[in-house]
């Protein structure tokens, strides 16, 4: 036992947090109770779920306790302890206890350092992480992992061959060595090495010639490169013969394109204007047809109302719409004398039919009306005034017996 080991053990136990104070004088004489307590505490610190015997009263119990401690540390922590020195429980037992204590102390020290590094890394000033610094370690790790896999596979194959090679190895080992055979083997190996050395020397000598050939090829390629570069510069400086015509055609093409764009724009504008005009004309035609239909319908309704009021429905020429268009028309009767007070100085007559036949017949019959579109004084009147005038003339022609159809 040395004083240094004893002091290191006490300091480590104090650092690990052992609840009892350990003096340097405790191991001057055998003290199995203290040694057993320290062993049990260290094992529980290493593995809290470990099951160990607690009885150390008798000699047999102490032997079982020491054996269980030694077996546990060998199987779990791969630490080999000397059971005899532990059983002695004196200064020599401190060396065995140091094996367990040093492992726990190093683990605690590593954990504390890692915690401090993590705290430093978590500080606001150390948030930068450079992945390029870890790329080399990553490559090395991948290489080692692949190498371990290859080595493990080769080791597995060699272990499979061990059953066959064991017999040949044992036979060779049991066989007596012959000096002449050994000398021949050594001579053959020496000749093989000499031949390999000659080949290597010849390759070394040929390196100079190969280097000279490579330098000559490099110089030749450099000259070719310079010549090609000069030729490229000359080609760039020379103006092609077709460039004048190309530029002239390019200018003409630009002018033609401008004219094409202008004509295309005009054509599109004219097509738009034509479409608008056609649309306006179509609307006017529809409006005229609608006005004509409205006028004819208005005249028909007024005639019917007037005929109903006078009671002379038979005085008009009625043409059935359902009959044929080419059917003969009835001759109208002469109207009865109008009552007193009716104006007889009408100057216009109405010709045509008042029937509501087909569209063409109705338009033709309306065209027979004396609708000149002018007053007696020659001034033009509107369509509504013309319609009212036609209605008044029709009324006079119907009520005046002096006018014939």
- What is the SS3 string spanning the chain? CCHHHHHHHHHHHHHHCCCCCCCCCCCCCCCHHHHHHHHHHHHHHHCCCCCCCCCCCCHHHHHHHHHHHHHHHHHHCCCCCCHHHHHHCCHHHHHHHHHHHHHHHHHHHHHHHHHHHHHHHHCHHHCCCCCHHHHHHHHHHHHHHHHHHHHHHHHHHHHHHHHHHHHHHHHHHHCCCCHHHHHHHHHHHHHHHHHHHHHHHHHHHHHHHHHHHHHHHHHHHHHHHHHHHHHHHHHHHCCCCCHHHHHHHHHHHHHHHHHHHHHHHHHHHHHHHHHHHHHHHHHHHHHHHHHHHHHHHHHHHHHHHHHHHHCCHHHCCCCCCCCCCCCCCCCCCCCCCCCCCCCCCCCCCCCCCCCCCCHHHHHHHHHCCCCCCECCCCCECCHHHHHHHHHHHHHHHHHCCCCCC
| CA–CA dist 121, 200 (Å, integer) | 55
Give the C-alpha separation, 78 to 87, whole Å.
20
Question: Measured between alpha carbons, how far is 288 from 296 in angstroms, rounded to an integer?
Answer: 12
CATH code, 3-118: 1.10.418.30
Q: Are 27 and 94 in contact (CB under 8 A)?
A: yes
CA dihedral sign, ordered 182, 183, 186, 191 = negative
Give the bridge partners for 65, in sequence order.
none
Angle at 302 between CA 297 and CA 304, to 5 degrees: 95
Give the C-alpha separation, 27 to 17, whole Å: 20
Contact between residue 32 and residue 39 where contact means Cβ atoms under 8 Å apart: no
CA 358 from chain centre, in angstroms, equals: 71
Q: Over its length of 405 residues, how does the chain's per-residue pLDDT go in tens digits?
A: 577 778 888 888 888 888 888 877 777 888 888 888 888 888 888 888 888 888 888 888 888 888 888 888 888 888 888 888 888 888 788 888 888 888 888 888 888 777 777 666 555 444 445 566 567 778 888 888 989 999 999 998 888 888 888 888 888 777 777 788 888 889 999 999 999 999 998 888 888 888 888 999 999 999 999 999 999 988 888 887 888 899 999 999 999 999 999 999 999 999 999 999 999 999 999 999 999 999 999 999 999 888 887 755 444 444 444 444 444 444 444 444 444 444 444 444 444 444 444 444 444 444 444 444 444 444 444 555 565 555 555 444 444 444 443
Ordered by start, the domain boundaries in the chain are 3-118, 187-238, 287-399
Handedness of CA 393, 397, 399, 401 (dihedral sign): positive
Provide the whole-model pTM: 0.32
Residue 127: how many other CB atoms lie within 10 Å: 8
Question: How far apart (Å, rounded) are the C-alpha atoms in residues 307 and 398?
Answer: 9
**Length of the chain (residues):** 405
* Tokens encoding 156: 């597995």
């Amino acid at each position: 036992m040395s004083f240094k080991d004893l002091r290191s053990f006490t300091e480590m136990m104090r650092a690990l947090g052992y609840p009892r104070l350990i003096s340097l004088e405790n191991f001057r004489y055998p003290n199995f109770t203290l040694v057993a307590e320290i062993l049990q505490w260290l094992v529980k610190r290493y593995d809290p779920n470990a099951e160990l015997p607690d009885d150390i009263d008798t000699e047999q119990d102490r032997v079982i306790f020491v054996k269980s401690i030694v077996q546990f540390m060998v199987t779990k922590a791969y630490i080999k302890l000397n059971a005899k020195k532990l059983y002695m429980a004196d200064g020599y037992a401190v060396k065995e206890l140091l094996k367990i204590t040093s492992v726990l102390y190093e683990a605690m020290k590593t954990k504390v350092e890692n915690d401090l590094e993590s705290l430093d890394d978590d500080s606001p000033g150390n948030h930068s992480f450079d992945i390029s610094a870890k790329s080399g370690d990553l490559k090395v790790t991948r290489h080692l992992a692949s190498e371990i896999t290859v080595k493990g596979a080769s080791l597995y194959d060699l272990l499979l061959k061990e059953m066959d090679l064991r017999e040949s190895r044992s036979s060779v080992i049991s066989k007596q060595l012959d000096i002449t055979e050994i000398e021949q083997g050594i001579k053959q190996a020496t000749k093989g090495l000499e031949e390999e050395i000659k080949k290597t020397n010849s390759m070394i000598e040929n390196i100079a010639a190969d280097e000279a050939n490579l330098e000559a090829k490099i110089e030749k390629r450099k000259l070719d490169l310079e010549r090609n570069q000069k030729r490229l510069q000359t080609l760039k400086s020379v103006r092609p013969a077709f460039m004048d015509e190309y530029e002239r055609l390019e200018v003409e093409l630009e002018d033609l394109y401008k004219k094409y764009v202008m004509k295309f724009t005009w054509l599109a504008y004219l097509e738009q204007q034509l479409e608008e005009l056609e649309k306006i004309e179509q609307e006017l035609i529809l409006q005229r047809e609608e006005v004509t239909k409205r006028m004819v319908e208005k005249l028909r309704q007024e005639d019917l109302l007037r005929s109903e009021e006078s009671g002379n429905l038979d005085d008009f020429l009625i043409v059935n719409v359902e009959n044929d268009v080419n059917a003969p028309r009835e001759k109208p009767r002469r109207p009865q004398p109008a009552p007193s007070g009716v104006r007889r100085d009408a100057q216009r007559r109405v010709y045509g039919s008042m029937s509501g036949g087909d569209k063409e017949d109705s338009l033709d019959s309306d065209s027979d009306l004396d609708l000149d579109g002018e007053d007696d004084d020659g001034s033009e009147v509107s369509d509504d005034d013309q319609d009212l005038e036609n209605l008044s003339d029709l009324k006079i022609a119907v009520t005046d017996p002096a006018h014939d159809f």
